[in-house]
Amino acid sequence: MRLLRRPHDSRLLALDAIAAILIAATYAGFARMSGSVTQPAYTGPVWAGLLVAAAVGLPVGGRRRWPVPAALTAVAGAVAATLLDITREPYLAVGLTLYAVALTRAPRHSVPVLAATLAASAAAVLTGEAVVTPAESWSGAAGVAAIVWLVLGGGWAAGFAVRARRAREADHAARHTERAIVEERLRIARELHDIVSHSLSLIAVKAGVAGHVAQHRPEEAVDALRVIEQTSRAAMTDMRRALGVLRADAGAVDVPLGPTPGIDALPLLADQARRAGVAVELAVRVPDEGLPAGISLAVHRIVQESLTNAVKHAAPARCRVTVEADPREVRIDVTDDGVRGPDRAPPGGHGLVGMRERAMTYGGTFSAGPRTEGGFMVSARLPRDGAGRTE
């Protein structure tokens, strides 16, 4: 697996080029040095020494683009330098290329390269130090080989560690993105459910009324049809707004955005429920400065879904909606006295789940269930400081 190029790669490539030139120049200088007790002198032609110097140093400049060829070329040059008595340094250039190999290649590809360089370097050091131009005993040559292995293994291990860290970071980012996508999908699903469920419930109730009284009380049927028309138009507007927001990323600039529904729209919800046969008593007590937008939307949606359930499962009935806020929390209580028979089971499905998710999003609590005295109740508590969790 190739890792994505980082934004600062151009700077790193420049540093690699400088290092490559310095290493090659240093090796070219080694080829012209006189010998010593521990380092015999190079006696070959100048062009061969320059070729070896280029083979050792220049691959460092291309190690990020072509890591495996760079490593193999560098180790071939270092082996030649060892056997030709140019120098017997600890293969630093090869270690730099192995870092790039481990960083950009999966272990199944980088480990064989490491093994090949370790084997070649050990054979070259032992042969050069103890056989070709003996400057060390076999034990001394083995010690030099161990130092070389330490450099090569350290370079590979550093690259592998950085690769593993980047993989963890990428995995964490991917999980974070996936979680954000799931949360956004749930949010959109809740919004669409609340819009569609509320509107369709009113339409269904009024359609049933119109069909029942069409022959004997046509004026009531006309009123019911008027409510159906108004509700369907409002639902279409809300749907266009929601879908328009989803299309905004695709370049839509004329999305008909309106104010986010909140506690100011609760009287409208109550009126719609009254037209559907539920006598709603609404009591809203909040500070003059109002509520944060996120909390206000959550209150609106919880009350909306509660009234929708009352219309669907309890009408005709009386329903009391109470919304109170203090500096610490917002309390929402919705109760009805509707009688639920076999054909009017307690509400279920996604409505209650959506209300619970909204409350939990803000660190609040939610409960719902039948009342002992009859009817159904919904109760939610939203901390005021929970607004910051989604803003």
Q: Which domain holds residue 321?
A: 262-391
| Structure tokens that stand for 144 in this block | 């030099």
171 and 266, same domain (yes or no): no
pTM confidence score: 0.53
Q: For residue 113, what pLDDT is reported?
A: 92
Examine residue 227 and state whether it is found in any structural domain, yes or no: no
175, 205, 222 - which closes a domain: 175
pLDDT band, residue 388 (cuts 50/70/90):
very low
Given a cut of 90, whether residue 361 has pLDDT beyond it is: no
- Please give the single-letter amino acid code of residue 29: G
- Sorted by sequence, the CB contacts under 8 Å of residue 219 that are 6+ apart come out as none
167 and 314, same domain (yes or no): no
Q: For residue 35, what pLDDT is reported?
A: 58
Work out how many domains the chain is built from and give that number. Answer: 2
147, 175, 203 - which closes a domain: 175
Given a cut of 70, whether residue 255 has pLDDT beyond it is: no
157 and 278, same domain (yes or no): no
* Element (DSSP H or E) covering residue 201: helix 138-213
45 and 170, same domain (yes or no): yes
Query: 316 or 106: which carries more pLDDT confidence?
Result: 106
Spatial distance between the Cα atoms of 37 and 147, rounded to a whole number of angstroms = 20
Q: For residue 251, what pLDDT is reported?
A: 47
Examine residue 52 and state whether it is found in any structural domain, yes or no: yes
Examine residue 191 and state whether it is found in any structural domain, yes or no: no
Examine residue 370 and state whether it is found in any structural domain, yes or no: yes
Greatest CA separation for the chain: 122
Strand 376-383 versus strand 329-336 pairing type: antiparallel
Q: Residue written as tokens 């909390």? A: 295
Spatial distance between the Cα atoms of 242 and 226, rounded to a whole number of angstroms = 24
| Cis status of the peptide bond prior to 45, with omega within 30 of 0 | no
Examine residue 193 and state whether it is found in any structural domain, yes or no: no
Given a cut of 90, whether residue 157 has pLDDT beyond it is: yes
CATH number of the domain encompassing residue 365: 3.30.565.10
149-153, 166-170, 248-252: least confident range: 248-252
pLDDT band, residue 173 (cuts 50/70/90):
confident
- Sorted by sequence, the CB contacts under 8 Å of residue 110 that are 6+ apart come out as 98, 101, 102, 156, 159, 160
Q: For residue 345, what pLDDT is reported?
A: 47
Examine residue 188 and state whether it is found in any structural domain, yes or no: no
The full DSSP string for 41-73 is PP-S-HHHHHHHHHHHHGGGGGTTTSHHHHHHH
Instruction: Please report, rounded to a whole number, the percentage of residues in the chain having pLDDT higher than 70.
Output: 79
Given a cut of 70, whether residue 85 has pLDDT beyond it is: yes
126, 155, 175 - which closes a domain: 175
208-222, 245-259, 340-354: least confident range: 245-259
Examine residue 380 and state whether it is found in any structural domain, yes or no: yes
Q: For residue 197, what pLDDT is reported?
A: 67
82-91, 180-189, 190-199, 343-352: least confident range: 343-352
167 and 268, same domain (yes or no): no
Given a cut of 70, whether residue 54 has pLDDT beyond it is: yes
Query: 309 or 204: which carries more pLDDT confidence?
Result: 309
269 and 167, same domain (yes or no): no
Spatial distance between the Cα atoms of 50 and 8, rounded to a whole number of angstroms = 32
30 and 133, same domain (yes or no): yes
pLDDT average, residue stretch 222-231: 75
151 and 287, same domain (yes or no): no
Given a cut of 50, whether residue 245 has pLDDT beyond it is: yes
22 and 169, same domain (yes or no): yes
Evaluate whether 379 touches 367 at the Cβ level (below 8 Å).
Answer: yes
Query: 57 or 5: which carries more pLDDT confidence?
Result: 57
Examine residue 231 and state whether it is found in any structural domain, yes or no: no
Given a cut of 90, whether residue 217 has pLDDT beyond it is: no
